[in-house]
Amino acid sequence: DVQLQAFGGGAVQAGGSLTLSCATSGFPFDDYAIGWFRQAPGKKREGVSCTSVSAGMTYYADSVKGRFTMTSDNAKNTAYLQMSSLKPEDTAVYYCVADRWGFRQDYTLAASYDSWGQGTQVTVSS
């Protein structure tokens, strides 16, 4: 079965950096879309980024373009979200998600992902 484990959250000051990790198992890494969603108290869940190795495609929400970067280490079946120039509005629980690539209409939507990690808290102070 698909398993996802998110790590790397913490508390930083505005302008700082963090890198989140998503360790995966139970599926062929290259055949899946891997993504990150976030949710802050009182706000709707928002897509942050997603990628497909086989499609050579990576998506970033407008709010994080130029500041966040998804990378992966295929040998370790691990995806990363490198975050820099963090803002207080980036404060949220960040979730790693995964689903088979090529079967959904839109991989920027939370409903497209059947597998979710436990989430990791990111707090950015002003």
Q: Which two tokens stand for residue 100?
A: 């088979």
pLDDT at 75: 92
pLDDT at 54: 87
C-alpha distances in Å from residue 106, one per residue of 90, 101, 110 = 23, 10, 9
pLDDT tens for the chain, 126 residues long, are 999 999 999 999 999 999 999 999 999 999 999 999 999 999 999 999 999 988 999 999 999 999 999 999 989 999 999 999 999 999 999 999 999 999 999 999 999 999 999 999 999 999
Going by C-beta distance under 8 Å and a sequence separation of 6 or more, which residues neighbour residue 87? 14, 124
Q: CA quadruple 4, 8, 13, 14: dihedral positive or negative?
A: negative
**φ, ψ of residue 110 in degrees (nearest 5):** -60, -35
pLDDT at 61: 97
pLDDT at 90: 98
Spatial distance between the Cα atoms of 39 and 92, rounded to a whole number of angstroms: 5
Write the pLDDT tens digit of every residue in 38-58. 999 999 999 999 999 889 999
